[in-house]
Structure 1
Amino acid sequence: MTDGPRTVIVTAYDGAKLMDVAGPMQAFSEARRPDGSPAYQVVLASEDGRTVTTDTGVRLETVRLDDAVRPGVDTLLVSGGDLTHPLTVTESLRSCLAEHLDRPRRLGSICTGAFILAELGVLDGRPATTHWAYCRQLQSEHPAVEVDPDAIFVTAGRVWTSAGVSAGIDMALAMIEEDLGHEAALSVARTMVLFLKRPGGQSQFSVELRQQMRDVHGRFDELHDWIRANLGADLSVPALAGVARMSPRNFARVYLRETGESPARAVEKLRLAAARRRLEHTDDPVRVVARHTGFGDDERMRRAFVKALGVSPQDYRSRFGRPGD
């Protein structure tokens, strides 16, 4: 442990999202060392140290980034903003950041702040994430980045990236746990009335919503409704093609083109979503949930949960099930 509080710098600019700035700052500000003293000195910085106006209209006082980044700075975080603004909004900030990227022990971004790090080349060859709505754009504009569209946050050596809004707090809690240990992070989570850690790899939004947004033309809406109502049926490509009144080969090709994933992958995700709902809202045994949602047996469902969410069905229920289950 360092002698004094670790310095955490959060960078902001006009149009930065208030929650991206305030959420992590609050988490770090709540952290305490064993003697009760603050564990972090949290600094809000901008390129020129002027007052910045966030996306909500709230104005925040800042200090100059050049003055804030002193030797020994521990963590530098880049907040996200509205991507409808042109990149010129952060062009000058990026130039300023480029001079300081090697100084912090740890570097990170919140939400669309990943685009700023990507523009600086920090994320090249690394796994990273951002808000689910912009993952495809990040991958398209920066093909050297290994974009993970599902993760709440991603660590790659000294570089951390998080998904949207509240995920910045999840990432901050994980950093606190790495620095100070489990109990210190748990204390912050309790103070802020939060889960200490959402399951690793937990999807940023529901499978159903993902399916709706990818199938923008709604071509397979009726098929998806049929699958949800028949999760225990034969859901092979030939069977689904028959329901869609298409040849199996044409169905597989068109489905992949319209939704961005194979029919088999979509079926597993819909079964997973149904299993999650049952685990959250019923006290059915896991083996019964597996049977009703088409997994067949609890071991197959367990493997699907671990692969997609990073936790077993039992662990998922303990976090998100009804109180008392």
Structure 2
Amino acid sequence: MRTVGCVIFDGVRPFDYAVIGEVWANRESRPGLPAFELRICGPAGARVRLGGGLERVPDFGLDALADCDLVVVPGMERPDEPGDPAVLAALRAAHERGVTLASLCAGAFLLAEAGLLDGRPATTHWAFTDRLARRFPAVDVHPEVLFTGEGGLWTSAGVAAGIDLCLHLVRAAHGERAAAAIARAMVTAPFRSGGQAQFIPSPVPQPTEADDPLARVRTEVLAALDTPWTVRRMAALAVMSERTFARRFTATTGTTPLRWLLDQRILTAQRLLEDTDLPVDTVATRCGFSSAVSLRPPFTTRLGIPPREYRRTFRGRDAGVS
């Protein structure tokens, strides 16, 4: 996934446009990352009025989307307005050529208007999910997730969820090391799973880990992933009942304890497969799986390829080469 097209048009949200640039534009301050080509595409020669009074002349016409590896549609400030027919046609043509398409925030409305999300799971900012479902009843709208996708079509919720999706796409194509390096440069969380809740009722943690039993649990679990953790065992560490612990954990993190645990085990397995020569069975047991056989199904479901193939793809690869 080297050539990335960003579609711009009147009303694009500047934040989403900036996120795409931060993730895929080459930076001298990020050595060792893949050499991306970011194409800013729009109606040829037309000055685009972004939100907030900003303007931008696209570097490429819409025809440049056809041979991209990935096309990203930023969110728009007025999702109820009809999309530019030329942009809709270009998105359809890119999809027909097998290009992966992704939208940030209300950009899902454009993919839906192009007819590309019919019968597929999709999401958008929580404030727009009802509107998306009413306007496009053939779309399977998931209002509760950060991002979702299948078959080369991805959508994300608002603001930070767009960053999560972009990092997920980098991780899937170039490995955990590349995604983590970009996240570190952006000073953002390197991993949040797509199924995590869009908003959390109590998002601000306690000031110190010593005062926050849930933070202590997460720290201890991460330090001993090979332990056979259960909700009961984690609740005991927090000195809570299982029900109270599960409720507070979900309210704080946006995901359940066991889903969070599986996410961390898979993420750690990715890192070990990329950065060490440990046998896959050893990687599996260090991450809390009984064997490579038990690691394979959840790993493959999450990443689309089994552990051994993942290692062949990413082990020892310099992010800037291949």
TM-score category, normalised to shorter length: 0.5 to 0.7
Is the CA contact (8 Å cut-off) linking 1:29 and 1:38 kept in structure 2? no
Cα gap change, 1:64 to 1:187, in 2 (>3 Å): closer
| CA distance in structure 2 between the partners assigned to 1:47 and 1:311 by the alignment | 47
Q: Which residue of 1 is the match for residue 95 of structure 2? A: 101
Is the CA contact (8 Å cut-off) linking 1:11 and 1:45 kept in structure 2? yes
SS at match of 1:149: coil
The alpha-carbon deviation at position 25 of structure 1 amounts to 2.1
| CA distance in structure 2 between the partners assigned to 1:169 and 1:311 by the alignment | 23
The answer on 1:287 being equivalent to 2:235 is yes
| CA distance in structure 1 between the partners assigned to 2:132 and 2:60 by the alignment | 28
| Unpaired segments ≥5 residues, structure 1 | 208-272, 319-325
| CA distance in structure 2 between the partners assigned to 1:8 and 1:75 by the alignment | 5
Cα gap change, 1:150 to 1:65, in 2 (>3 Å): farther
Cα gap change, 1:119 to 1:296, in 2 (>3 Å): closer
Q: Which residue of 2 is the match for residue 232 of structure 1? A: none
Q: Which residue of 2 is the match for residue 193 of structure 1? A: 187
Amino acid at match of 1:105: V
| CA distance in structure 1 between the partners assigned to 2:89 and 2:158 by the alignment | 24
SS at match of 1:100: helix
So what's the TM-score if we normalise by structure 1?
Answer: 0.63
| Unpaired segments ≥5 residues, structure 2 | 218-233, 265-322
Identity %: 31
Q: Which residue of 2 is the match for residue 77 of structure 1? A: 72
Cα gap change, 1:145 to 1:191, in 2 (>3 Å): same
Q: Structure 1, residues 255-286: CA drift from partner, whole Å, max 9, x if none?
A: xxxxxxxxxxxxxxxxxx59x85798733365
The alpha-carbon deviation at position 81 of structure 1 amounts to 0.7
Q: Which residue of 1 is the match for residue 126 of structure 2? A: 132
Is the CA contact (8 Å cut-off) linking 1:12 and 1:52 kept in structure 2? yes
So what's the TM-score if we normalise by structure 2?
Answer: 0.64
The alpha-carbon deviation at position 95 of structure 1 amounts to 3.1
The answer on 1:9 being equivalent to 2:13 is no
Is the CA contact (8 Å cut-off) linking 2:104 and 2:156 kept in structure 1? yes
The answer on 1:309 being equivalent to 2:305 is no
Larger Cα-atom Rg = 1
SS at match of 1:132: coil
| CA distance in structure 2 between the partners assigned to 1:66 and 1:158 by the alignment | 19
Match of 2:38 among 30, 42, 46: 42
Q: Which residue of 2 is the match for residue 56 of structure 1? A: 52
Cα gap change, 1:307 to 1:283, in 2 (>3 Å): closer
